[in-house]
A and B are shown apart, each in its own frame.
Chain A
Amino acid sequence: MKTAISYPTEGAMGKTGTWRVFRPSIDIGKCIKCWRCWIFCPDAAISKGEYPVIDYEYCKGCGICANECPVNAIEMGREEK
């Protein structure tokens, strides 16, 4: 039986971080460690360290984390080449 099944692996679509136009950066001084950014990141590009850690190899810069952050600790800045 054949149907369209694939097994998720890290980086199956390549280094999607290169797609990024806006780059999120976390101000750990403001971060309250609620982990909403970690929950909402659609690419699982945020991991749990002492504070949230963004994996810039795969973060596409969608900005959902910045939108969800209740204390505005994540800022989206234009990606520098």
Chain B
Amino acid sequence: MIVIDTANHISALAAKMARARVIAAYPITPQTTVVEKLAEYVESGELDAEFIRVESEHSAMTACIAAEAMGVRTFTATASHGLLLMHEMLHWAGLARLPIVMVNVNRAIGPGWNIWSDANDSMAQRDTGWLHFYCSSNQEVYDSIIMAYKIAESQEVMLPAMICYDGFILSHTSMPVEVPEQSKIDEFLPEFKPAWKIDVENPITHGNIVEPHYYARIRYDMQVAMERAKKIIEEVGEEWGKKFGRDYGLVQEYKCEDADYVILTMASMAAEAKVAVDELRNKGEKVGLVNLRTHRPMPFERLKYDKIIVIERAVSFGLGGIVYNELKGRVPELYGFIAGIGGMDVSYRDIERMYELAKEGKDGWYPIEVK
């Protein structure tokens, strides 16, 4: 069935079809309509779930943690300041190995007050032990949420997952999305089997004091699980492709086979970059695109190109581009552009321009430092 709707409504639909049993969320622009739609589903009985209204995002994440610890599939959504308020509990969910799935609608952080797209909110959570996925279309949002449950809940992974997409550019834009039948989704996504759970018949204590020696092992185990997740992400993406005709993996490559330069970007800028690649190819430029849909775990293995131009909508102050710096030293010729901050429009023409600048050996903040 083809549904034409916004990424926010598509997120709610995906959470419903993944059969989330507990939803705890606090509304924040531009995520609000995700929560509204889910509340509607629960109210009408279309979705058999407990909807927990909370007084903050910190509490929303805490409620999801508690429910997930009871062995129940959960869902939440947030953005910007809401995500930042969750920060403590994001670490908690990761260390407790609870495969919560959350949508984060990327939005700039204030002050100055800004509700437009900017990835610094989720980028600032990259060390919390969550799997991070970025989507470039509403279809990817739907597919990624369902797949995220399967990946996160894999016994080899057991880590929470964050699905990120640009505020307004996707969140409030209607696009056609192919939605499989519920029975097909149920076939793809089996019931959640927790790795541990709170159970009155079998009492346990979770999260009490742990000596350094054990604590270090728990952390190491998360790193190992992140590495294992790379394989699971590829496998689940391939299975999705076989069942529903759209292949996924750690990254999505476009015209990379013979490319001299590869543009690497994420989220909606990757959709725009596809247009830029086509335009540049028409002009005879041998350029390709890597859509970095997985940021954690970082798929270095899939980024073995000689010349990469990174375009990203986030910055680490005092360091520069985040993805750019993660790749530094691993790519023979690397260029980094910071673009689209605070929702600044990045069109395919801007991406073409950045490509030309990189060819001249220039990079930096676009269009502030270089244009």
Partners in one complex: yes
Least distance between B280 CB and chain A CB atoms (Å): 46
Q: Is the interface of A mostly helix, strand, loop or mixed?
A: loop
CB contacts (< 8 Å) of A8 on chain B: these are: 203-205
0/1 interface trace, chain B 199-242, chain A, CB 8 Å (1 if under) = 00001111110100011011001000100000000000000000
CB contacts (< 8 Å) of B218 on chain A: these are: 2-4
CB contacts (< 8 Å) of B196 on chain A: these are: 1, 3, 5
- B96, CB-defined interface residue at 8 Å: yes
Give the docked Cα–Cα distance between A59 and B225 (Å).
41
> Which residues of chain A (1-52) have a CB below 8 Å from chain B?
1-8
CB contacts (< 8 Å) of A7 on chain B: these are: 203-205
Nearest-CB residue, chain A, relative to B224: A2
CB contacts (< 8 Å) of B95 on chain A: these are: 3-4
**Residues of B within 8 Å of A, CB-based: how many?**
20
Please classify how large the interface on chain A is, using the bins under 10, 10 to 19, 20 to 34, 35 or more: under 10
A5 touches B206 (CB 8 A): yes
Give the docked Cα–Cα distance between A6 and B203 (Å).
9
B158 touches A1 (CB 8 A): yes
- B195, CB-defined interface residue at 8 Å: yes
CB contacts (< 8 Å) of B316 on chain A: these are: none
CB contacts (< 8 Å) of B114 on chain A: these are: none
CB contacts (< 8 Å) of B97 on chain A: these are: 1-3
Give the docked Cα–Cα distance between A3 and B95 (Å).
7
CB contacts (< 8 Å) of B225 on chain A: these are: 1
B205 touches A3 (CB 8 A): no
| Chain B residues within 8 Å of A, Cβ to Cβ | 95-97, 155, 158, 195-196, 203-208, 210, 214-215, 217-218, 221, 225
| Chain A residues within 8 Å of B, Cβ to Cβ | 1-8
The 8 listed contacts between A and B (C-beta, < 8 Å) are A1-B97, A2-B97, A4-B207, A4-B218, A5-B196, A5-B204, A7-B205, A8-B205
Known contacts A4-B218, A5-B206; can you find 17 more A-B pairs with CB under 8 A? A1-B155, A1-B158, A2-B97, A3-B95, A3-B97, A3-B195, A3-B206, A3-B218, A4-B96, A4-B207, A4-B210, A4-B214, A5-B196, A6-B204, A6-B205, A6-B208, A7-B203
